[in-house]
Amino acid sequence: MTHRFLIMGPQGAGKGTQAALLAQRAEVPAISTGDIFRANIKGETELGKLAQSFTSRGELVPDSVTNDMVRDRLGQQDTAEGFILDGYPRNAAQVEALDGILADLGWSLDAVIVLTADRDELLGRLSRRAELEGREDDTAETIARRLDIYEQETAPLIDAYRARGLLVEVDGIGEIDAVAERIDVALAAR
Ligand code: AMP
SS (H, E, C) 144-176: HHHHHHHHHHHHHHHHHHHHCCCEEEEECCCCH
Report which protein residue has its CA nearest ligand 1's atom 19. Answer: 88
pLDDT tens profile 154-167 = 999 999 999 999 99
User: Which domains are assigned to the chain?
Assistant: 3-188 (3.40.50.300)
pLDDT at 143: 86
pLDDT at 130: 80
Kindly state the percentage of the chain with pLDDT values over 90: 80
- Model confidence, pTM: 0.93
Q: Determine the average pLDDT of the residues in 41-68.
A: 97
Give the whole-angstrom CA distance, residue 113 versus residue 85: 10
Ligand 1 centre distance from Cα of residue 87 (Å):
6
User: Three-state SS for 184?
Assistant: helix
Q: Phi-psi region for residue 30, left (φ > 0), alpha (ψ -120 to 50) or beta?
A: beta
pLDDT at 65: 98
Q: Determine the average pLDDT of the residues in 95-99.
A: 98
Ligand 1 centre distance from Cα of residue 75 (Å):
20
135 a catalytic residue? yes
Question: Is the CB of residue 114 less than 8 Å from the CB of residue 19?
Answer: no
**Residue 87 above 80 pLDDT?**
yes
Ligand 1 centre distance from Cα of residue 34 (Å):
5
Mean pLDDT in the chain?
94
Best probe residue, ligand 1, of 36, 56, 57, 60 (max atoms within 8 Å of C-beta): 60
More confident: 140 or 113: 113
Q: Determine the average pLDDT of the residues in 12-30.
A: 95
Catalytic residue of the set 71, 129, 145, 162: 129
pLDDT at 55: 96
Q: Determine the average pLDDT of the residues in 45-68.
A: 97
Q: Determine the average pLDDT of the residues in 93-101.
A: 98
**Residue 94 above 90 pLDDT?**
yes
**115, β-bridge pairs:** 170
Give the whole-angstrom CA distance, residue 55 versus residue 69: 15
190 a catalytic residue? no
pLDDT tens profile 57-83 = 999 999 999 999 999 999 999 999 999
